[in-house]
Structure 1
């Protein structure tokens, strides 16, 4: 038997797997953002078309909007924005449109292919935000030449 070279016993160190704290924080923020709005719209898949018309308006108005018969006077591109930035940009854009008496706009929200879970987070949010606004009369997904289900045409109320 050989003598020990040291007389101390080292404690056993269990190596725990690393905790992905940033990913957990990001997941929590996404859930908070998705749950933050008062209005909860139905689940929307990437390819689904958005349609909305105020109940007091004629369906013919939405039909003309879907066919692209309104001249688009302004455009907002939300690509690459996070939810709070996109919400602020949308509110500012629509406020500016009201000041300039712009009636028909296009908002590009994207199809969600670049998002974390490849889901259309901004598409859902834009759908919800637009339905909550009193100045929005109708909106629908754009024609394929104008972005398809990654963009919406929006018809705004005329300024008084």
Structure 2
């Protein structure tokens, strides 16, 4: 039985390249160069012509539902352990691009698996007094269109789950927009 080289999805290739670049070679061995996986090329910008647009109206894109904070009873149940946290991802020590790729892949797989609540650990940030980069960036990412089809809502975690350095994330039900 032969294995095809194209079994990995684009998300898996990105995740694998992140892992492969962080690996250290064994003593006495040379490091293998890992190619950087580039995002798919976007189409070149189309120049606007002087011709008027067609008179037929274009189909309106389906609006994505707004992202809301977790309701108080759900937050309380999560913090007290009455609702299970079915998955966790720790983004400590990752760059923004690595964290974004890992978070998107994790949430996509969790959503496909029917998981409802997950914990995203961002860390509280540097000790220099400022908020951490990921602590500020992850909530903003979760409200972008790329994540909106996966995430229903999010809120800061309870103290014993990481407090301000972690987020409870409710994923949308499979099959619902």
Q: Aligned residue for 1:29? A: none
Q: Deviations over 1:14-64 (max 9, x none)?
A: xxxxxxxxxxxxxxxxxxxxxxxxxxxxxxxxxxxxxxxx6587x7x5213
Question: Counterpart of 1:126 in 2: which secondary structure?
Answer: helix
Does 1:152 pair with 2:167?
Answer: yes
Does 1:123 pair with 2:138?
Answer: no
Count of matched residue positions in the alignment of Structure 1 and Structure 2: 104
Give the TM-score, by structure 1 length: 0.58
Does 1:71 pair with 2:84?
Answer: yes
Instruction: Output the CA distance in 1 between the equivalents of 2:104 and 2:75.
Output: 23
- The CA deviation at 1:99 is 1.6
- For structure 2, the residue ranges without an aligned partner over 5 or more in a row are 1-64
State the structure with bigger RCO (CA 8 A, min sep 6), 1 or 2: 1
- For structure 1, the residue ranges without an aligned partner over 5 or more in a row are 1-53
Does 1:92 pair with 2:99?
Answer: no
Instruction: Output the CA distance in 2 between the equivalents of 1:158 and 1:80.
Output: 30
- In structure 2, relative to structure 1, the CA distance for the partners of 1:143 and 1:56 (3 Å cut) is closer
- In structure 2, relative to structure 1, the CA distance for the partners of 1:95 and 1:145 (3 Å cut) is same
Give the TM-score, by structure 2 length: 0.53
Instruction: Output the CA distance in 2 between the equivalents of 1:85 and 1:117.
Output: 24
Question: Counterpart of 2:143 in 1: which secondary structure?
Answer: helix
Instruction: Output the CA distance in 2 between the equivalents of 1:86 and 1:109.
Output: 9
CA RMSD, aligned part only?
2.2
Larger Rg, first or second structure (1 or 2): 1
Q: Aligned residue for 2:117? A: 104
